[in-house]
Amino acid sequence: MIRTGLSALLILGTWATAGLVPAAAAPSAPSSPRSEAPASAGLLSAMQKDLGLTKSQAEARLAAEKTATAVDGKARRAAGSSYGGSWFDADSGTLTVAVSSAGKAEAVRATGATVRLVQHSARQLDAAKARIDALSAPAGVASWHVDPKANTVVVNVVAAQKSDNDVRSFLTRARQAGPVTVEETAAAPRTFAAGTVGGDPYYTGNVRCSIGFSVHGGFVTAGHCGRAGAGVSGWDGSYIGNFQGSSFPDNDYAWVNVGSGWWTAPVVLGWGSVSDQLVRGSNEAPIGASICRSGSTTHWRCGNLLAKNETVNYSQGAVHQMTKTSVCAEGGDSGGSFISGDQAQGVTSGGWGNCSSGGETWYQPVNEILSRYGLTLHTA
């Protein structure tokens, strides 16, 4: 229960993350040797439950994902302008890198990555997506992102509205922007804020959200949870601080200063279902990697990283540069943390579905938030 989790967090001196189920966060610099520490029993247990893995399979996957993350950066540099994106395959434990020039294949292969030749470079696909970003999307269009494996821009359309005239018109214009593939999704995305409920992590006005990662001087969270200047109180009703910066839509990030007896620590609350997680780094995980989320409503959940740099079309407006996952979430989980292994990834924004029937959830990458506000993550 929440009281147990909060007590453990206070003992560790981490109050900014109190009332929260975030994940591991850290600076954008490469992780230190301490990240070699074995995965916690709680993380392994959550991966076994949500991903259907054995303990040894979960350990092997985390190790392979860590290697893939390191290889990805080297492969991107080796590919240069022909880089077409990358993705991790959980079955083989390998990273595949797409290149649009056969002349770069050997150099990329030398980094340890598997190579696939494609027609379009990531730069070309990103340019096509940017042209689609400039269009006005109807409610029946859920999101769109560059899919390196398909080597196209994938536009996700709500299945029940695929025949809508406005949706069809949007798709016609999208196809003129570049290579496009259309896929169906079950429902439109929505944000995961919630009305006030007693005993939960933090409040602004009548909205409850989840605290994200601790930074020096405060914490980061979702922008739709509050506007700049809004006051924030904790689960016990005591004053924490104010939103110092907030952006939504277009982005979905914010940060809150911490004071009045509250403090920060590099810990992600485990809610008693998993052990509290230390924050060690923020190296970006590749597409296909496992990822876990912590939030005040549905606590600790895991899934897979499905897509990056996706534009999500909420009813309040489009949000750009989001990452899509197969992890479920519900109202009140907004702002909570996403983690891959011991590396912070981002703060929960929104999605569709729930944790009974399943769904998809997007997060805003944490490194972008740190860069935007000049913040430094509090790390172990």
CB 51 within 8 A of CB 302: yes
**Best CA proximity match to 299, nearest among 331, 333, 265, 267:** 333
Catalytic residue among 145, 224, 299, 378: 224
Catalytic residue among 50, 72, 252, 276: 252
Active site residue 224: yes
Amino acid identity for residue 354 in this structure: N
Active site residue 252: yes
CB 251 within 8 A of CB 322: no
Residue 174 DSSP SS3: helix
Q: What is the CA radius of gyration of the chain?
A: 20
Structure tokens at 180: 């496009």
DSSP 136: P
Helix (H) or strand (E) run with residue 132 in it: helix 122-133
Catalytic residue among 143, 334, 337, 349: 334
> Going along 102-195, which residue ranges are E strands?
114-117, 141-147, 152-158, 180-185, 190-191, 194-195
Active site residue 290: no
φ/ψ region of 141 (left if φ > 0, alpha if ψ in -120 to 50, else beta) reads beta
Amino acid identity for residue 169 in this structure: S
Cα 61 to Cα 90: distance, rounded to the nearest angstrom: 7
Active site residues: 224, 252, 334
